[in-house]
Structure 1
Amino acid sequence: MSFSSKLWLLLAVLPVTGAYVTSHGAVPVKRQQKWLREMTTDICQQPPGELTEDMLQRTPHLMHAWSDARIGGGKESALALESLLVRLAEERSMGNDQAIASTEDYNCLLEVWAHSRSGIAAAERCEQILTEMEDRFKLGDNTVKPDLKSFKAVLMAWKLADGAKFAAVRAQRILEWTIRLASTGENEDVLPDADCFDIVLQLWSRSGLPDAPAKTEQLVVAMERLYFATKMDSVKPRTASYNAVLAAWCKSKKGGATTRAYQILGFMEGRAQAGDVAAAPDEASYTAVVSSLLKSPGALSARRAEDILRQAEARIAPQAPDTILYNTVIGCWARCNKGKAYRKARSILDRQINNFEHGSKRSKPDVYGFTSVIASCSMEPGGREERTKAFHVALGAFQQMNRYDKPNHVTYGTMLKACARLLPENDYLRHKWAKKIFRQSIRDGLVGDMVISRMRESVSPPIFRDLMQGHSRRNLPEAWFCNVHEKRKERAQGGNKKRRKRAEV
């Protein structure tokens, strides 16, 4: 089969997506890759000055085929594209004016390198190619003038360079380069837009570096200044921009980081109320700040978390926030160690249930929310009367859970913890419910270490021995713990190994 017929057959099937891949008459991917290699080799091995007009016309299509992720992609595609571009440059140096590699061709190469899964090496190579394009443009070669797409590809390469702590620094240099080129008039086509800024913002927010929060705030200020200077909506800070700042502060270990994140969320709310819808907080904004508050347990954090939940409910209406946000706010109340906090936790769960019952499937209560309510009850520090009320709230949550989700071993352990901490030692209800809960955990195969330790606290030694039915903690029947996955894995590895501490609410 000739070079032209191979290429035309390849190009004929490329535009077809799902049908091409699944139809029985399609050319197999491996055969397409083989043709690509053969045709690339045919062009690259032609002596300088001897590329035919047909080959020159087909080369851009061949590069496009290499860039198609369905049959190309990866380092091989990037190297093949480079070899074709080098061959065109050689041909042009021999006086063939038809051998032109355009900006679009180089952008194709940059994008393939960026997505080649070659990490830092790919990002470094993208920078080198971009620098070469800029140098050639300065020397008068307008065919390879870098555009905004060129710079975005390099920024994306750094974003995809997994694990590179310095990726944010390198990406910011590229961003500053675009601003300098545009502001000096050297290349007005590369004025960065919000997408460029957001890539760098996300890199800083994920870096975990100590100065990441300050860097993200500085970048957003730069976006605002650029917007006021140009009046271009394409550079205006938006929700994703502010979310990156929130993420950086929420990950920071600096004192006052959570408070600063809370302030930024308030700023976003203010912008939204002033009519700037593009900067309005979304669910990710609320969840980020509430998750940060969860790491700083206390009454103030819990109140702030509930305020944020109310803001989210108003902002997202008529929809309701998702399960994760509700669970996190309930968790803030569960950890605040304040009297009657369990009432707040239960009221939030009730709102969540109400939203779900009225059609908000994304708000469906789950085991984590119910278990957090039970945990908040078990931590009630009040007097006997208040602790008794807290126990009944915990029991109600435990019994209601089955309508929405199944309990896990932590749920049973936390409910037994509530029995031990909320009811007097010789109370009839304490023994009654402790035994009932333990037997139910046996039926469900959820007798984990936490369940046993909390059961031991809840009942007298004779009752505990009776419930254990002659078994010790280390030789329980497998049916008792078959659904406690951590325990099952531990036993499979050997019962004499050091036990890892189980998570408790």
Structure 2
Amino acid sequence: MDSNSRSDSLITSIPNGKVRNQARHYLEQATENLLNKETLSAANLSEMNHVLNAWARQKNGAAYAEQLIKKVIDQRMAGNENAIATTDMYNALISSWVPSWGDGKMTTETALACAERAEAILRYMQSEYESGGEIRPNIKSFNTVVKAWYNSASPIAPTRAGRILKWVYEIHTKGTNGPDFRPSFYSFSRVIELYSFRNCATDADSTLLCAERAEEILEFMEELAYTGNDVNPTYRYLRPSVSLYNAVIAAYAKCNSMSSSSVNVAKKAERLLHRMIYLRKHFHQTDLHPTVLSYNSVINAWSKSGCKTSAAKRVETILNYLEDSCNLVNPDKYSYTTTIDAWAKSGDPLAAQKAQNILMRMENNIDVTPNTISYNAVLNSWSKSPLRDAPRKAEDLLRKMQYFYNTGINSEAEPDMISYNTAIMAWAKYRQEDAATCGQSAEYLLNECEQLHKMGHAKYAPTVFTYNTVVEAWTKSYHPNAKRGEMILERMLQASSDRDDLIPDAYGFNSVIQAYSKLGTPASAAKAEELLVRMTELYEEGNEKIRPQLYTYTTVMDAVGKCGTLNAAKKVEEYFRAVVRRYEAGQLDLKPDTVCFNSLLAAYRSAGGKEGAEAAEVWLERMEEEYSIVEPNVYSYNHVLVAWANSGAENVAARRAEAVLKRMTAKGVKIDAFSYNSVINAWSKSSRPKKAQKALSIVRGMDALYRRGNKDIRPNAYSYTTVINACAFSNAETATMRSRLLGIAVAALQELQSSPRYGPANHITYGTFLKACAKLIDEDDEMLRKVMIEPVFTKCCQDGQVGEFVLRQLRVAAPDDLYEKLLGEYAATSNLSSSVKCAVNIEDVPKEWRRNVKEKTRNKKWKNRGVAPRNPLPKRSRS
């Protein structure tokens, strides 16, 4: 057999000069002597066999082995009858090509070439034998090639080794290589392991295909080893071992560890576990007992299946089985910790308590000692819990870890910075208490870490995550304390001057800036601007992590824009232009997005006046035309609509707002109810004589669109209330006009009351209707006032919507006797002979009348609708 190019290249790579040891020197001398023999004797061939086996165990021995085999073939072709290359010789040659990574010099390309060469030799042997040659490959020949592929670490290794296995079985079934040629357990196990562990798959789909292929081979082994209800004596040796089942189960678990989680994958893993149990029970395979690794792999597959609560329940069921005293396998730390982690990721409202219960079971198990990782998993559960006492539970658990470790009860429970950071995060994520409680508790833990670090415990050095999370605790609560958040930020900056490993990033600054933005005052806007300047200075000094992001600029723009003046809006425009300049200069992450544009539009909206509305519309047009990459959304248009509605430009605002609404339709923007309500509001505030009719027609148009299936344009109480408000503030000079406007107000109220899907009339609706009655019904027409007011107020009481606004308007609109009648004992006069109606305190009327009043709903909901949602702060590492 001629040596190919690979062997020639490897021959040249054999190191010259001084040999490393006597054994290799002997092999080189013996090889040289054999190669220099003119005629090989039987003794020479016996010696050659030993030398070949020795080279098979040496690195870079394949080239020498190739030369020796070539010498035998050449002698045979020259007529030397003693020169016979045996199967053992060829097996040694194949073995010499098996890749070895021990010296660290093997590359992937070389390993692949070695495996290819080993298989080429095998195929040559089989081809020669089937053509009548004397060299018959045995099962060792095939196993050695499988080993070569196993050691190659090549992506194609599972497929190529699988082909060898299939080839073996075909030769066996045909009887080509004799009756003693049978597939070996070694080949099956190595191919299964290749598909399970060494598949080089980089995505979930490929990993799943490999796992399924491994299971197919495992099932084929079962088919051969088991027949009917008994073991097949012919292939008894092919019974899959526990380790092979574990390999395939682990392969399925690996699939769910990647991006594509699936309950079906977890079910496949568990099915293999049940197959082991079934074979042990029904085929009396006493050695086929699932190990704790078997159960843990199934637990792992379920915990990462993406099924959340159902997965956590399934994992706990498996853990319960492991804890069963009748079971021969006991759970270990991984079993408990993975179950805890499954509950932590489940999203179940009671997940943290369930995780804590698992930890208690772990503590009560004398064979298992919870470690820091176990406790941290429960801390993580509490940090995500919506329960009111979750932060305190997390901190209590941290204290328990400290107590157990310090007293020697559990030396493996020492808290680390992840423990502290997670407890701090539990306080930071809590939203049901004020900033003082959350911030102080988080800051106390930070103080503790800083003190431990000063005492020489380096592992408790607060990280950037620690400081940023305490900042978040102060700035993200219901009542954010931006000043305290800024103080923590300054502590981090001061600490970073003494620590090279503490490099502040933009997250903490962004949190404080956002808190100042929420305050909405000129002073808070100035603080936000100062922090932006500070970030810029630190970035220019060399801290890349603190470079202001687009989110930073957008939040500062929001803060300044909330000042509500035209000068503030112009300053926001300057910030916007600065962002554009930086983007054009090469800072690609500062490319203005829709939220950034909307912050500019919101600033001009808040500025008020005709000039602010015109500027907002100009920027909207630029957004449509000049910045085509960033398309305006419904919020962009809504800002402009609100700007016109609140502009005070009575003569043009309504028409301009309606024109913007038509542009939204023409451009295919998904219009919502807020858009229409803003136009209705603009008409309500206009000076046009038929503004009430126009407002009602728009509401009825909304109603028609909603009934045809457009659920985004559902009218609400605000829609109809605004129509009534338009009636109340229309310039009605004649009785006919006032009567017509009163009819529109009545129609609007009745349409709202007859359409429950649009929500009930609220206290603003009823109060506005009473205002309309006061303005549109002559004072001397007491009968009409009574007819209009009494049933409306009675319905208002039934709906529980009697608020202060309703009482004020009732006092103005109702005749004296009706006022006293409706309020009964709650109405009084300052003097019995006086006809002056006294105000009624809202606290004096029955609670039933005011049970549904939400005084702040209008200001919060209607003011804030249409403001673009803020970008969330980026996620951070907890360590």
1:246-297 superposed Cα distances (whole Å, 9 cap, x missing partner): 3333343443465334432342244234314434443444444444444447
Residue 253 to residue 328, structure 1, CA distance change in 2 (3 Å): closer
What is the distance in 1 between the residues matched to 2:659 and 2:614?
Answer: 22
Q: Which residue of 2 aligns with 1:158?
A: 343
After TM superposition, the structure 1 = structure 2 runs for residues 309-388 of structure 1, keeping only pairs within 5 Å, are 309-315=489-495, 320-380=503-563
Identity of aligned residues (%): 21
**Residue 224 of structure 1: how far off its partner (Å):** 0.7
Q: What letter matches 1:503 in structure 2?
A: V
Q: Which residue of 2 aligns with 1:220?
A: 398
Residue 426 to residue 132, structure 1, CA distance change in 2 (3 Å): closer
What is the distance in 2 between the residues matched to 1:32 and 1:345?
Answer: 59
Residue 407 to residue 417, structure 1, CA distance change in 2 (3 Å): same
**Residue 155 of structure 1: how far off its partner (Å):** 2.3
1:5-43 superposed Cα distances (whole Å, 9 cap, x missing partner): 544322234432436989x9xx96654443344445666
Contact 1:32/1:71 (<8 A) preserved: no
Contact 2:539/2:545 (<8 A) preserved: yes
Residue 409 to residue 3, structure 1, CA distance change in 2 (3 Å): same
**Is 2:186 the counterpart of 1:8?**
no
Residue 336 to residue 40, structure 1, CA distance change in 2 (3 Å): farther
Q: Which residue of 1 aligns with 2:459?
A: 278
Structure ranking higher on relative contact order (CA contacts 8 Å, 6+ apart)? 1
Q: What letter matches 1:211 in structure 2?
A: D
Q: Which residue of 1 aligns with 2:867?
A: 503
**Residue 341 of structure 1: how far off its partner (Å):** 1.8
Of 165, 168, 193, which aligns to 2:352?
168
Q: Which residue of 1 aligns with 2:273?
A: 81
Aligned partner of residue 18 in structure 1, secondary structure:
coil
What is the distance in 2 between the residues matched to 1:420 and 1:123?
Answer: 49
Of 382, 401, 406, which aligns to 1:204?
382
Residue 461 to residue 148, structure 1, CA distance change in 2 (3 Å): same
What is the distance in 2 between the residues matched to 1:348 and 1:194?
Answer: 38
1:292-345 superposed Cα distances (whole Å, 9 cap, x missing partner): 4444476x7010121222234445676754444332211111122444222210
Aligned partner of residue 662 in structure 2, secondary structure:
coil
Aligned partner of residue 218 in structure 1, secondary structure:
helix
1:85-106 superposed Cα distances (whole Å, 9 cap, x missing partner): 4433566xx5x66444433344
Q: Which residue of 2 aligns with 1:302?
A: 482
Q: What letter matches 2:272 in structure 1?
A: A
Residue 253 to residue 347, structure 1, CA distance change in 2 (3 Å): closer
Residue 311 to residue 205, structure 1, CA distance change in 2 (3 Å): same
Residue 88 to residue 375, structure 1, CA distance change in 2 (3 Å): same
Q: Which residue of 2 aligns with 1:384?
A: none
What is the distance in 1 between the residues matched to 2:203 and 2:441?
Answer: 51
Contact 1:43/1:84 (<8 A) preserved: no
Residue 475 to residue 340, structure 1, CA distance change in 2 (3 Å): same
Q: Which residue of 1 aligns with 2:791?
A: none
What is the distance in 2 between the residues matched to 1:126 and 1:496?
Answer: 42
Aligned partner of residue 399 in structure 1, secondary structure:
helix
**Residue 388 of structure 1: how far off its partner (Å):** 7.5
Residue 176 to residue 10, structure 1, CA distance change in 2 (3 Å): same
**Residue 61 of structure 1: how far off its partner (Å):** 1.7
Residue 78 to residue 471, structure 1, CA distance change in 2 (3 Å): same
TM-score normalized by the length of structure 2: 0.46
Q: What letter matches 2:193 in structure 1?
A: L
Q: How many residues align?
A: 473
Q: What letter matches 1:368 in structure 2?
A: Y
Q: Which residue of 1 aligns with 2:659?
A: 472
What is the distance in 1 between the residues matched to 2:550 and 2:508?
Answer: 14
**Is 2:293 the counterpart of 1:104?**
yes
Unaligned stretches of 5+ in structure 1? 382-386
After TM superposition, the structure 1 = structure 2 runs for residues 124-273 of structure 1, keeping only pairs within 5 Å, are 124-136=313-325, 144-160=329-345, 162-181=346-365, 186-187=366-367, 190-230=368-408, 234-256=412-434, 259-273=437-451
Larger radius of gyration: 2
Contact 2:379/2:397 (<8 A) preserved: yes
What is the distance in 1 between the residues matched to 2:324 and 2:654?
Answer: 82
Residue 77 to residue 419, structure 1, CA distance change in 2 (3 Å): closer
Q: Which residue of 2 aligns with 1:63?
A: 246
TM-score normalized by the length of structure 1: 0.76
Q: What letter matches 1:155 in structure 2?
A: I
Contact 2:522/2:560 (<8 A) preserved: no
1:171-207 superposed Cα distances (whole Å, 9 cap, x missing partner): 22221122223xxxx32xx111111111112222222
What is the distance in 2 between the residues matched to 1:48 and 1:229?
Answer: 57
Residue 432 to residue 65, structure 1, CA distance change in 2 (3 Å): closer
Residue 156 to residue 474, structure 1, CA distance change in 2 (3 Å): same
Contact 2:221/2:239 (<8 A) preserved: no
Aligned partner of residue 476 in structure 1, secondary structure:
helix
1:146-166 superposed Cα distances (whole Å, 9 cap, x missing partner): 332232233233334x23333
What is the distance in 1 between the residues matched to 2:579 and 2:647?
Answer: 22
Residue 109 to residue 333, structure 1, CA distance change in 2 (3 Å): closer
What is the distance in 1 between the residues matched to 2:318 and 2:246?
Answer: 16
What is the distance in 1 between the residues matched to 2:495 and 2:228?
Answer: 64
After TM superposition, the structure 1 = structure 2 runs for residues 424-503 of structure 1, keeping only pairs within 5 Å, are 437-442=619-624, 443-444=626-627, 445-446=631-632, 447-454=636-643, 457=646, 460=649, 472-476=659-663, 497-498=713-714, 501-503=865-867
What is the distance in 2 between the residues matched to 1:43 and 1:486?
Answer: 68
Of 19, 34, 50, which aligns to 2:216?
34
Residue 28 to residue 110, structure 1, CA distance change in 2 (3 Å): closer
**Residue 229 of structure 1: how far off its partner (Å):** 2.1
**Residue 225 of structure 1: how far off its partner (Å):** 0.9
Unaligned stretches of 5+ in structure 2? 1-168, 170-182, 257-264, 584-589, 677-704, 716-861, 871-879
Residue 86 to residue 314, structure 1, CA distance change in 2 (3 Å): farther
Residue 408 to residue 502, structure 1, CA distance change in 2 (3 Å): farther
**Residue 45 of structure 1: how far off its partner (Å):** 6.6
What is the distance in 2 between the residues matched to 1:20 and 1:214?
Answer: 42
Residue 7 to residue 351, structure 1, CA distance change in 2 (3 Å): same
Aligned partner of residue 157 in structure 1, secondary structure:
helix
